[in-house]
Amino acid sequence: MAEFLDYFRKERLPHIWCPGCGHGTVTGALIRAIDKLGLDKNKIVMVSGIGCSSRAVGYLDFDTLHTTHGRAIAFATGVKHAKPSLKVIVMTGDGDCTAIGGNHFIHAARRNIDITTIIMNNSTYGMTSGQYSPTTPHGMLGTTAPYGNVEHEFDVCELAKASGASYVARATSFHVTLLTDLIEKALMNKGFSVVEALTQCPTYFGRKNKIGGPVELLNWIKDRTVNVKAAAALPPEKLAGKLLIGELYKAERPEYCATYAETTARVQRTYNDYKGGNRGCELNSD
Amino acid sequence: MRTEFRLSGSGGQGLLLAGIVLAEAAILEGKNAVQTQSYGPEARGGSSKAEVVISEDEIDYPKATDPDYLLALTADAYKTYGPLMNSGLIIVDSSVSLDAEIKARTLSVPILAAAADTVGKKVTANIVALGVLGGLSRLATRDALRKAVTARVPKGTEELNLKALDVGLGLAAQSGTPAGSLK
Amino acid sequence: MPKNAKLMQGNEACTMGAIAAGLQFFAGYPITPSTEIAEMCSEELPKFGGKFIQMEDEIGSIAACIGASLTGKKAMTATSGPGFSLMQESIGYASLCEIPVVIVNVQRMGPSTGMPTSPAQGDIMQARWGTHGDHQVIALAPGNVKECFELTFKAFVYAEAYRVPVIVLADEVISHMREKVVLPDPSSYKIPMRAMPTSPAGYKPYGADPDGGVPLMAPFGQGYRWHCTGLFHDESGAPSGKAAVADQLLHRLDRKIEKNVQALEDYYVESMDDCDVAVVSFGSSAMAALSAVRRARKGGLKAGMLRLKTIWPFPDQAIRRLCASAKKIIVPEMNLGQLVLEVERAIHGKAEVIKLGKVTGELFHPDEIYKALKEAF
C-alpha cells in the first residue's frame, strides 16, 4: 500500500470525490497498471479536462495537466506531438470526452496518436450535480431529464473504433482486475487507446434514478455488462441491452508521431542544406 | 516618383502573379515595390484585383490611389474600374467593347488573343499583360522582367512564359504610346 | 540593392519571424486570411525537426500549442476572427497557468463570418478582454511587412520572458500585402530563452515575487512532476479556493505586465514634437494616416503621426508624453471606435479626441484622413 501511495501527491489528499464514487477505483486501476509496467514516473504526462473524473490528475505524482472542459485530448496531442518520448495518458469523463470534447476524441482516434485515454463513464455530469450526458441511457433520469432522457446514448467504444482507435476496451469499477489488465494493455499499445470504465455516481445518477446506494448501483452496472468472451456463446436475446466488457478491438495501424517522424526524416534528407530557420535552441528542445 | 498599377480581371487569370512579378522586377532594379490584392471568395471566376505601387522613395500607402495604369482583361473589370481613372492610362483587352462614358485615355490591346494565338497558350495572358505593362511603364528592364518571370513561374514553363513576356513587350512597342508616366 | 532584399508577404514574414525566434511547434486550422502561415509552417517546420499539426478546430489548435509549450517548445498558432473567438477560453487558460504561446490573429471583417477576405481592425478589445475574467495579455500590431517579422519575433521574446499569451494583431492588408523587405542577418537574432529551474528539489511551479514576479517554468518530462491547472492555485500548483491565494495570484499576474508597460511600449512617431493635430493609429490604417500626415505637413499644417506597435498593455504614459503638444487627436481605425476609447482614457481630457471609424471592409484612403485633418485644423 505504501508503494501504491508513492504514485500520489499525498499532501493533496483526501480527494474531493463523494463516498461510494467509482473514480477512485478507476484511478487505482490505472496506477496499478503503471506500476506493473514499471513506467518511469518522470516520463508520464497525465492530462485531464473538467469534471469529477478530471480531478484525478491533481492527486497523482506525475507531470499533470488539468485543462479546460473537453480539451484534454487536444492538449495531450500537443504534448505528445511536441515530445513523442513522453507517455501521455488522458483521464476524462463521459461528458468531457464525448460531448464537449467529442470532436477532439474522434480526431485523435483518426490520427491514431499514441495517447491512452481512460474514460470514466458514470452516465452523468456529476460535477454540476447530475444532468444527463451523452451516455445516459434513454429514458433514465437526470436533473435536465426530469421526464426521462429523450435522447439515445453513445456506445463510446463503437465510436472510438469507428473513428480509428487502435485499441478499444471496456470494463467497470466492479471488474477491477479486468480493468487493470485492460489499462495495462492499452498503455502498451502504440496508438490511440481507449479504455471505457463504467463507474458509479451514487450521489446523483444512482439517487435520481432510485437505484439505491453505491453497492446497488455497482450491481446495476455489473448486470448491464457481459464479458465479450462469454458473449460469443450467448444467443442474441441474452445480449439485448447489454454492454460488452473486455478487449473489444485491437488493430495494427500506423501511429501519428511515428509517421510524422518518417515524413520529417524524408524532408530533411531533401533539405539538409536548410538555412532558413534556427536549429539551435537546444535548451528548449529534446 | 510613385507609379501605381491596377491589374483587374477575373479570378484564375493569374493577375496576382503578374503583379508579384512586376513588383519583383522593380525590386531587382533597386526600386521599392508593394503589391496588394482584393479578391472574392471564389478561387476561379469572380472579380480579382491586384495592385502594385513602385517608387524610388519609401512607399507609405500600399494601395493605388489614382492609378497610372489600369489593366482590364474583362468587360466587368473595365466597367468597374474604368470610370475611376483620371489621368492614367487604361489598357483594356481588345475583346472588350469600349464605353464612351469612360473618358480616361484608353489603349485597346489584343492581350488574350496574342496569348492564345502568338504564344499558343491562353493561360499566358497574365505574362503577356505583364509585358505590356512593363513595356509601357519602363519601370523595369527586359532583363529584370525576364529574371523575375523565371523565378516565379512553374518549373518547365519558363520558356513559354518568357515568350509571352516578349509578345507583351512587343505589343507595348507597337502601341505607339510614349513610355513613362502619363500623368 | 541589398542581396537579401525580397518581395515578401506579411504572412510569410510573420512565419519567418517565428522561425527566427525558435518556433518549434505550430498547430492551426485553415482560415482566411491567415492560412498562408499554416501552409508555410507545414512546409518549413519539418525541415529542421519542428512540428506542425492541422487540428480539428481552433480550440484544439491553441490547446495543442499550450500542450507543446509545456514540454519546453516554442509554440504558435495563427487564425482570424471566428477562430480567434474560439480560442478565447484557452487564451485565458494560458494566461492563468502562465504558459508562453503566440497567437497570430489576422483581423478580418466581423462579427461572425462577416467578410472573410476583407480587412478590419475590430478585434482590439477582444484581444484584450476576449477571455473571461481579469487577466493580462500582450498584443502587438505590425504596420508593415517587415514588422510582421519583427513583431512576431518579439512576441516570442515577451511570451517567454513574461510567461503570457502574446497576440500578434495583424490585419488582412498587412498580412496579404507584399513588400520589399530586407531581413536582418540570422546571426544577429538573439533567440529568446525560457527561464527554467535547475533542479526539481524544492521546485515551486508558481513561486515568484508577489509584485509581478515570473516563476521559473519546468518543462514536462524532466522530473519536476508539477501540476498545471486552470483552477486558481497556490505556489505549489495545488488548486485552492482560498481568498488570499486568489487575490495574490491575480495581483501578481496583473503586476507582471502592468509594471513593465514602459518596457513593452513600442511605436513609430513622425512629426509629433510640435504637432497641433496628432493622428494615433495602428496597423494598415496607419499607412493611410501616415500618407495623409505627410501631405498635411507639406501643406504647412502641423500634423503628427503616432503609430502604436504595442497595443496591449496600452501605453498610457507614452500617449500623454508624445501627444503633449496636440490640441486634437484623430484616431482612424477600421472599426466603429475601439482604440479611440483607450486614447481618450489615456489623454484624460487634455486634448480633443476625434473618432474616425471605417467599416466598409476597405482600407482607408489617405484622402479620408487628410480631410479629417483639414477639418481639425
Residue A281, pLDDT above cutoff 60: no
The per-residue pLDDT for A210 is 97
Q: Name every residue whose Cβ is closer than 8 Å to that of residue A6 and which is 6 or more positions away in sequence.
A: A61
Q: Copy the grid coordinates of residue A118.
A: 481512460
Domains of chain B (ranges, CATH numbers):
2-173 (3.40.920.10)
A85 contacts on C by Cβ (under 8 Å): 221
How many Cβ contacts (< 8 angstroms) between chains A and C?
188
Domains of chain C (ranges, CATH numbers):
5-188 (3.40.50.970), 266-376 (3.40.50.920)
Residue A121 belongs to what domain range?
2-255
Name the residue facing C65 among A41, A78, A85 (closest C-beta).
Answer: A78
C5 contacts on B by Cβ (under 8 Å): 27
Asked if the C-beta of C286 comes within 8 angstroms of chain A's C-beta atoms, the answer is no
Chains in touch with B (≥3 Cβ pairs < 8 A): C
Distances (CA, A) of B97 to B67, B78, B104, B108, C113: 21, 9, 15, 9, 38
Mean pLDDT of chain C: 96
Closest-CA distance, B11 to chain C, in angstroms, reads: 14
CB atoms closer than 10 angstroms to residue A272: 8
CB contact under 8 A, B38 and C118: yes
How confident is the model over A46-91, as pLDDT tens digits?
999 999 999 999 999 999 999 999 999 999 999 999 999 999 999 9
Closest-CA distance, A244 to chain C, in angstroms, reads: 30
CATH of the domain at A76: 3.40.50.970
Number of structural domains in chain A = 1
C and A interact (at least 3 Cβ pairs within 8 A): yes
Strand partners, A243: A225
The per-residue pLDDT for B137 is 96
Residue C2, pLDDT above cutoff 90: no
Least confident interval from A23-32, A221-230, B40-49, C62-71 = B40-49
List per-residue pLDDT tens for chain B, 183 residues long. 899 999 999 988 999 999 999 999 999 999 999 999 887 666 666 778 999 999 999 999 999 999 999 999 999 999 999 999 999 999 999 999 999 999 999 999 999 999 999 999 999 999 999 999 999 999 999 999 999 999 999 999 999 999 999 999 999 999 877 655 445
Q: Does residue A20 form part of some domain?
A: yes
For chain C, what's the residue count? 377
The per-residue pLDDT for B181 is 47
For chain B, what's the residue count? 183
What are the strands of the beta sheet with B2-10, ordered from one edge? B106-109, B89-93, B69-72, B2-10, B47-55, B32-39, C178-182, C5-9
- Split at pLDDT 50, 70, 90, the class of A285 is very low
- Check residues C186 and A84 and name the one with the higher pLDDT: A84
How confident is the model over C215-244, as pLDDT tens digits?
999 999 999 999 999 999 999 999 999 999
What's the rounded Cα separation, in Å, for the pair A14 and A8? 11
Q: Does residue A284 form part of some domain?
A: no
B60 contacts on C by Cβ (under 8 Å): 287, 290-291, 294
Average pLDDT (A105-132) is 98
Strand partners, A247: A169
Q: Is the peptide bond before A14 cis (omega within 30 degrees of 0)?
A: yes
CB contact under 8 A, C177 and B34: yes
Q: Taking a C-beta distance cutoff of 8 angstroms, is the pair A90, C251 a contact?
A: no
Dihedral sign from CA coordinates of C120, C8, C291, C341: positive
Closest-CA distance, C190 to chain A, in angstroms, reads: 11
Q: Which residue of C has its CA nearest to B35?
A: C178
Which element (helix H / strand E) includes C128?
helix C124-129
Cα B59 versus chain centre, distance: 19
Q: Is the peptide bond before C200 cis (omega within 30 degrees of 0)?
A: no
Residue C346, pLDDT above cutoff 90: yes
Average pLDDT (C23-41) is 97
Q: Copy the grid coordinates of residue C313.
A: 498593455
Closest-CA distance, B108 to chain C, in angstroms, reads: 29
Q: Taking a C-beta distance cutoff of 8 angstroms, is the pair C131, C103 a contact?
A: no
0.80 cut: is pTM over it?
yes
> Percentage of chain C with pLDDT > 90?
95
CB atoms closer than 10 angstroms to residue C316: 16
- Split at pLDDT 50, 70, 90, the class of C149 is very high
Average pLDDT (C18-38) is 97
Q: Taking a C-beta distance cutoff of 8 angstroms, is the pair B89, B70 a contact?
A: yes
C224 contacts on A by Cβ (under 8 Å): 63
The per-residue pLDDT for A282 is 30
Asked if the C-beta of C27 comes within 8 angstroms of chain A's C-beta atoms, the answer is yes
The per-residue pLDDT for A283 is 31
Which element (helix H / strand E) includes B171?
helix B158-174
How confident is the model over A130-181, as pLDDT tens digits?
999 999 999 999 999 999 999 999 999 999 999 999 999 999 999 999 999 9
For chain A, what's the residue count? 286
Q: Name every residue whose Cβ is closer than 8 Å to that of residue B81 and which is 6 or more positions away in sequence.
A: B6, B8, B49, B67, B70, B72
CB contact under 8 A, B61 and C366: yes
Least confident interval from B151-160, C67-76, C333-342 = B151-160
Q: Does residue A218 form part of some domain?
A: yes
Q: ipTM more than 0.85? A: yes
C365 contacts on B by Cβ (under 8 Å): 63, 65
Distances (CA, A) of A72 to A57, A64, A209, C270: 11, 11, 30, 48
Query: Which of C1, C3, C4, C7 to substitute to test the interface with B, most B CBs within 10 Å?
Result: C7
A and B interact (at least 3 Cβ pairs within 8 A): no
Q: Name every residue whose Cβ is closer than 8 Å to that of residue B102 and which is 6 or more positions away in sequence.
A: B78, B79, B82, B83, B85, B90
Average pLDDT (C193-222) is 97
Name the residue facing C49 among A79, A264, A283 (closest C-beta).
Answer: A264
